[in-house]
Structure 1
């Protein structure tokens, strides 16, 4: 597994992998698939200098992505990032998420980020377990803030200082 900075030509596969998660109503708060055009500006907000996005490569094929995004958009939070990791369904449950999270401290140091926030639905037990495995703790809990497929869901905020 390797990481490579994402390029605009990767955006269609990034969107495809993201859209795979929507029907489960366990991973993202989007309720219907998004398009490349809808996400172009979002993609361009990720810069190698501060809030990068990478594609996850396995045997030189893109099988996932990792991004750091601004946490709250105010200057005092500039060293805090919201992390997102999405893997193609074909590679989920095979330890690739762990390999990606092992790379996070290395990548954080390159861009001067020191705190990581992960927003995870309480029903997404595999992701909560993965982040706990790497020392993330629950920093917050927002009960019943999302409605997915006719049922409410809690948001667990996991965090870690580096």
Structure 2
């Protein structure tokens, strides 16, 4: 729970750019508390990314669609502090996913990425994620419609 304030701060850094998250206003620690507590080490974990013993990012697995038949599918979220972006930390996080999903009993990973967020799309595609879905103009960011790209990968 002690990492929640920095997790929220890193998340809130992405809001003004209108390319990474659908939240349009900063969230509070209190608003994210129940989300934080819903994660569990044995199935849908939330991990922090450390650099020089400082939290500089986080990665979480979340349930997909909330129905029992989807229990082996997860949505992945990766957020990095703006000061460490472009240093290869996102690649390091994605490199660890195959081993982790197997340990957790997961077989499919989904990433929801706005079409305007080309750096994230390129990163996931570099690791073999493919476009599994495309939802045109489902979000309005900065008074402009934005598409949602769903990237996915199976892990057997």
Question: What's the TM-score once normalised by structure 2's chain length?
Answer: 0.98
1:153 Cα offset (Å):
0.1
CA RMSD in angstroms, aligned pairs only: 0.5
How far apart in 1 are the matches of 2:88 and 2:104? 26
Q: Give 3-state SS (helix, strand or coil) of 1:89's partner.
A: coil
* Residue in structure 1 matched with residue 58 of structure 2 by the alignment: 65
* Residue in structure 2 matched with residue 133 of structure 1 by the alignment: 126
1:137 Cα offset (Å):
0.1
Q: Does 2:97 correspond to 1:104?
A: yes
Structure 1: gaps of 5 or more residues: 1-7
- Any idea what the Cα deviations from partners look like across 1:103-158, whole Å, max 9, x if unmatched? 11121112111100000000000000000000000000000000011000000000
1:95 to 67, 77, 88: 88
Kindly indicate which of the two structures has a greater share of residues assigned to helix. 1
Give the aligned length: 155
* Residue in structure 1 matched with residue 19 of structure 2 by the alignment: 26
Displacement over 3 Å in runs of 4+: none
Question: What's the TM-score once normalised by structure 1's chain length?
Answer: 0.95
Q: Does 2:143 correspond to 1:144?
A: no
